[in-house]
A and B are shown apart, each in its own frame.
Chain A
Amino acid sequence: MIKVQNVSKNYKTPSGTFQAVSPASLHVEEGDVYGIIGFSGAGKSTLLRLVNLLEKPDAGEVYVGGQELTGLSKKELRRARQSIGMIFQHFNLLNNRTVSENVAFPLEVASITKEERVQRVRECLEIVGLTEKADSYPSKLSGGQKQRVAIARALANRPKVLLCDEPTSALDPQTTRTILAFLKEINVQLGVTILLVTHEMNVVKEICNKVAVMENGHLVEKISLSDREIKPKTDIAKLLFEEEISEKRGIAHV
């Protein structure tokens, strides 16, 4: 569903070239909830943004749903992006539009007729359980509600793929669980493939079936979480996984 082949991204800084993503490849299959985990500055968000070309790769190819995005014209790329949903750490809702107007935005972009828009907005708000907030402005919502609006907005054009950039990092643990439950539901019931970036191991544990570990711009290890025994090889993966293990032990001791 998503195939990233040898993409790399460098930034020019006053102190020289900074390699945000060094040639990385990733294959997300249909139905996956694929996590990318790493510490701050590892390049995981950049990698995610390379998937819908919010960042233009310096080299490599990106395929989404069998279509090579890196070879498209500007117009074709806009069209392709309409069927790739994305949610963000800070929600990025339009503050001067109501909840339903926010969800309608991608439909307007895709030139959907008014009647269809109204219908689809209602459906999407039902999915995230926010129909009663349809006419509220985002400033009146809690963080969790804002992210649910963002999810509804991302789903409006019936995407096959949902990109999540630290979707729960601005939320408390309780709200995080709700949002993750919605994402899982969307994955299972609507068949949306999810690629998710996070620095929280519990997010990965909760909903991902695969995870890639990233460090200093490199994808250092890919782990399938459906395997019976998870054996992280690299130090960083061990660190991330063992932190979890020791936490569980901590609970066991209490």
Chain B
Amino acid sequence: MFDNVIPLLPEIGISIVQTFLMVGIAIGAALLFGTPLGILLFLTSKGQLLERPILFRVINSVVNIVRSFPFLILLVALIPLTRVLIGTTIGPVAAAVPLSIAAIPYFARLVEQSLREVSKGVIEAAVAMGASTYQIIWKVLIVEARSGLMLGLTVLIVSFLSYSAMAGVVGGGGIGDLAIRFGYYRFQTDVMVVTVLLLVALVQIIQFTGNRLAHYLDKR
């Protein structure tokens, strides 16, 4: 019944590595750039420590614009940028560029949302104790919102596991691409079933781990 799957096993292995590579880079970029962007979004919004209406509106719009692109369009539109950055437009690393560009504003929004859950009174108490904005970010905002941030990260990983399936368009490879090429184009239903099961298992593991960690981090 899994006739097509057995000879494909090495390729399935490679596709898993490719998926991890693409998603890993995108998540890394989101953590590195999306987190500060989300913090900035929160802090510059109305009634917050660094309230800057114009700056907030600019960042807010940029985040919205990038997020409104259907991912497939973004993937194609960013080909020139990818060529400049990576030197090639095919392969998982090249596909990681549009994935990262999409992941950064996505996570920034999730970070902003989590920070809004932090009680205003706690921030105010820190201000009253003479804490600097920098200290408030690290010792208050991130610590108080850490459980929500962990859940946001989980959502991000699951979403981008799914987005990475479209990376096949630019030759990025990965599990989703394998499903499309073999399962869909070649009507190898068994390959489709195996790859989808693989993705289901991955998502379950990620969500379960994320929930557990979030629960552990939450002392409220």
Residues of chain A touching chain B, judged by Cβ–Cβ distance below 8 Å, are 52, 54, 77-82, 84, 86, 88, 90, 92-97, 105-106, 108-110, 137, 139, 153, 157, 163
Contacts and interface: CB of A to CB of B under 8 A. Distances in A.
Contact of B144 (A52, A78, A88, A94): A94
Say what secondary structure dominates the interface of chain B.
helix
A109 B130 contact: yes
A95 B144 contact: yes
A18 B33 CA distance: 41
Contact of B130 (A80, A94, A137, A163): A80
B195 to A, nearest CB: 40
B128 A96 contact: no
Contacts of A97: 143, 219
22 contacts: A52-B128, A54-B128, A77-B130, A78-B132, A81-B129, A82-B130, A84-B128, A86-B129, A88-B124, A90-B121, A92-B122, A93-B122, A96-B143, A96-B147, A96-B218, A97-B143, A97-B219, A105-B129, A106-B130, A109-B129, A137-B219, A163-B128
Interface string B111-124: 00000000101101
Interface residues of B, number: 23
A71 B215 CA distance: 46
Between B119, B125, B129, B140, the greatest number of chain A beta carbons within 10 A of the residue's beta carbon is seen for B129
A114 to B, nearest CB: 15
Nearest to A107: B129
Contact of A88 (B121, B143, B146, B220): B121
Given A93-B122, A94-B122, A95-B219, A109 B135 contact: yes
B129 A82 contact: yes
A164 to B, nearest CB: 12
Given A86-B125, A88-B125, A92-B119, A139 B130 contact: no
A86 B146 CA distance: 26
B122 A78 contact: no
B125 A139 contact: no
Given A95-B219, A96-B217, A110 B130 contact: yes
B193 interface: no
Contacts of B126: 105, 109
A105 B122 CA distance: 12
Nearest to A163: B128
Given A94-B144, A95-B220, A139-B219, A81 B121 contact: no
B121 A92 contact: yes
A94 B143 CA distance: 8
Nearest to B140: A94
B29 to A, nearest CB: 27
Nearest to B145: A96
Interface string B88-107: 00000000000000000000
B143 A92 contact: no
The 8 A-B residue pairs with the shortest CB-CB distance in the complex, in nearest-first order: A81-B130, A82-B130, A92-B125, A92-B121, A137-B219, A95-B220, A78-B130, A86-B128
A137 B218 CA distance: 10
A96 B220 contact: yes
A243 to B, nearest CB: 30
Given A54-B128, A139-B220, 15 more contacts: A54-B124, A77-B130, A80-B130, A82-B130, A86-B129, A88-B125, A90-B119, A92-B119, A92-B124, A92-B125, A94-B140, A96-B144, A108-B135, A109-B132, A109-B135
A221 B120 CA distance: 32
Contacts of B132: 78, 109
B59 interface: no
Nearest to A159: B129
B128 A81 contact: yes
A82 B146 CA distance: 26
